[in-house]
Amino acid sequence: MNVKHKNIVGIVDIGTTKIVVLLAMINSKKNFEIIGIGHKISSGVKKGIIVNIEVTINDVISAIHIAESMAKVKLNYIYTTITGDHINCFNSESMISVNNSEITDLDIQKVINVAKNMNIPSGQQLLNVIIKNFIIDNNNNITNPLGIISSTLGVKSHIVTSSSSVLNTLINCIYKCKVKLKDIYLHSLASSNAVLTEDDKKLGVILLDIGGGTTDIVIFYNGVVCYNKVISIAGNNITNDIATIYQISFEQAEFIKLNYKDPNKFLAIKKIIDNIEFNNITIDLLEEIIETRVQELFILIKKIILEGKYDNLISSIVITGGTAKLFGITDLAKNIFRKNIKIGIPNYNGSLSNIIRDPAFSAAIGLLRDASEQTFQENNLNILQYANINIKKFLKKIKYWFIN
């Protein structure tokens, strides 16, 4: 159990309804094999934000121990995700002068630093600077400006910020779990790595990760991110409606919500219904409750799309997260959005795929994919030293994505 290995990577996805820990063995830059899974009900998180740190610490530690026991290894460090309606994003342009000379790596770093040093609203912390493309004179679609002669160099970037309080609470939570925190990824971007193809991103796609407490929205066009938002309407709203109307427990309402159309679950559902004093549950009424809430969510998202003038850029919508398993959700989405709709299943075919290939694990698999690639590069290039990372240095660290 005390075995440690440089090719072992671990992630924790702390959600509103569940906490998932995955341990994997890295085989190559793009290939990993899951060797341990830890799964716990999340009791200290609401709408993606930790509201009871002590409870969350215990839940995370428990999930880590379960994963370690399965994998027979000891976890040394971990990657995690962040979500919640405190996440803000905006698109930005930055420019520097290069005096009609050949653009160097130093120039590229300088203009990126200008983008990184944008004024951030009080109480917010920079989370990501995502590079969309570079600007050379009047050409704003340059993917790699190195070696080009120009008078100016600009960069178009997508800036993502987080509440400082929420971010620091998350960092403190991981710290108190006695593991080293390696990096934090935006939840929506982690999910996109698991379920979207490069063609999806180039042609224009909206990813909706609908979990229990939040819906994460991310829009890609021409291969890059152009919009991010998190809203606090999601699957738990539906479950709460069912629980309130029929005066049953949240767990019973969740079971009915996800399984009321499954003939294999009929007896289990009938047992719940038979114990209700005023038994007036019908399939038609359940459908009405569920469809009303889902339509409310989709209409809100469509309003966001239209206000941002993204509708004509988008060719498809991918729905993932635990709520993507709702019966009939794709038909409801087609009626509202009038786009091609599909359910996003994590792209993973290794060991334990019978458990992992589930929309509820999209963010966890996408995070594991990024974490594995980063760890592989560190192990083989030996140029990044994160072992003794401190919180101040971590909060200044940024990631930037380039179009391949």
Secondary structure element (H or E) that encloses residue 367, with its range: helix 362-381
Work out the number of other CB atoms within 10 angstroms of the CB of residue 132.
24
Give the helix/strand (H/E) hosting 267. Answer: helix 266-274
**What confidence score (pLDDT) does residue 276 get?**
64
Residue 152: closest CA among 114, 99, 197: 99
pLDDT score of 279:
56
Considering only residues 296 and 141, tell me which one the structure prediction assigns the higher pLDDT.
296
Domains within the chain, CATH numbers bracketed: 8-84+164-191+361-396 (3.30.420.40), 88-162 (3.30.1490.110)
In this structure, the number of other CB atoms found within 10 A of the CB of residue 355 comes to 11
Q: Which of 28-32, 88-92, 344-348, 360-364 bottoms out in mean pLDDT, i.e. has the lowest?
A: 28-32
Over residues 238-250, the mean pLDDT reads 89
- Report whether 116 contacts 94 (CB < 8 A): no
pLDDT tens-place string over residues 186-203: 999 999 999 999 999 999
The secondary structure of 301-312, three-state, reads HHHHHHHCCCHH
Position 39 pLDDT exceeds 70: yes
Q: How far is residue 125 from each of residues 116, 164, 209, 392, measured CA to CA in Å?
A: 11, 5, 23, 11
Cβ–Cβ under 8 Å, residues 346 and 356: yes
Q: End-to-end alpha-carbon separation of the chain, Å?
A: 40
Report the interhelical angle of 53-71 vs 164-176 (nearest 10°).
50
Residue 94 CA to residue 250 CA, distance in Å, equals: 49
Residues 6+ apart with CB under 8 A from 147: 102, 103
- Which pTM was predicted? 0.87
* CA dist., res. 185 & res. 189, Å (int): 7
pLDDT band at 246 (very low <50, low <70, confident <90, very high): confident
Lowest mean pLDDT among 122-126, 246-250, 293-297: 246-250
What is the mean pLDDT of the segment spanning 335-361?
A: 94
Q: Which of 232-246, 332-346, 385-399 has the highest mean pLDDT?
A: 332-346
Report the 10 Å Cβ neighbour count for 122.
6
pLDDT of 402 strictly over 80:
no
Task: Say if residue 59's pLDDT is above 90.
Answer: yes
Whole-angstrom CA distances from 376 to 4, 6, 336, 404 are 16, 9, 42, 19
What confidence tier does 270 reach under pLDDT thresholds 50, 70, 90? confident
- Contacts of residue 14, Cβ cutoff 8 Å, sequence gap at least 6: 42, 45, 50, 56, 60, 80, 81, 170, 173
Reported confidence tier of residue 265, pLDDT bands at 50, 70, 90: confident
pLDDT of residue 175 exceeding 50, the answer is: yes
Give me the pLDDT at residue 267, please: 76
Mean pLDDT of the residues in the chain: 88
Looking at the chain, the whole-number percentage of residues with pLDDT higher than 70 is 90
**pLDDT value, residue 174:** 96
**Mean pLDDT value across residues 382-392:** 44
Count CB-CB contacts under 10 A for residue 253: 23
Give residue-wise pLDDT tens across range 68-117.
999 999 988 999 999 999 999 988 899 999 888 899 999 999 999 998 88
- Amino acid letter for position 381: L
Q: What is the pLDDT of residue 375?
A: 83
